[in-house]
């Protein structure tokens, strides 16, 4: 089963996604740690997850990471992956097709976390608009093939597609 968990910043997306895999699994992290604030965020996630998860860092090559094994996997998050690719002058809106192929060939459950960035105002600069547009396309493509899509607001899940 492929599950996409969407929501805003600090909405509870990651904690909810982790709760869907109580036995743990492969945690595919897309963050690049560039400063102390990101170190603190990563440490918060590591502390919450505990030892039942193994972590694999995939800030760019997400499709490859998804083909490593058939353990249940959680990708956190597509938004950071999209940002990484954009800053590397790679188009996530196109690279997501490889991710979709990898997802569809997996035998184990996969959960993907992503921010819904299209609910706010239109950004005032080209880079921010390009990011918002690519993130929206990535989310639409993954939602299109997902068995289940859940939107999180204030820690509360709203199932948009599939069942709880």
What one-character-per-residue DSSP string does 32-55 give?
A: ---SHHHHHHHHHHHHHHGGGEEE
Q: Which of the following is catalytic: 45, 71, 141, 161?
A: 45
Q: What is the DSSP letter of 121?
A: P
Q: For this structure, is 123 an active site residue?
A: no
Distance, CA of 152 to CA of 139 (rounded, Å): 14
* Three-state SS at 158: strand
DSSP lists the bridge partners of residue 25 as 53
- CA-based nearest residue to 140, from 110, 116, 164, 105: 116
Catalytic residue annotation: 45
């Amino acid at each position: 089963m492929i599950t996409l968990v969407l929501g805003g910043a600090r909405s509870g997306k990651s904690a909810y996604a982790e709760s869907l895999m109580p036995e743990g699994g492969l945690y595919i992290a897309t963050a690049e740690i560039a400063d102390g604030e990101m170190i603190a965020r990563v440490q918060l996630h590591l502390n919450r997850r505990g030892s039942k998860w193994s972590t694999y860092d995939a800030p760019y090559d997400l499709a490859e990471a998804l083909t490593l094994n058939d353990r249940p996997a959680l990708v956190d998050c597509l938004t950071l992956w999209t940002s990484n690719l954009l800053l590397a002058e790679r188009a996530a809106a196109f690279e997501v097709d490889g991710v979709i192929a990898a997802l569809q060939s997996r035998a184990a459950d996969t959960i993907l976390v992503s921010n819904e960035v299209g609910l706010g105002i239109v950004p005032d600069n080209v880079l921010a608009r390009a990011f918002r547009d690519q993130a929206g396309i990535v989310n639409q493509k993954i939602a299109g093939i997902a068995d289940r899509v859940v939107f999180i607001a204030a820690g509360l899940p709203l199932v948009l597609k599939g069942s709880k």
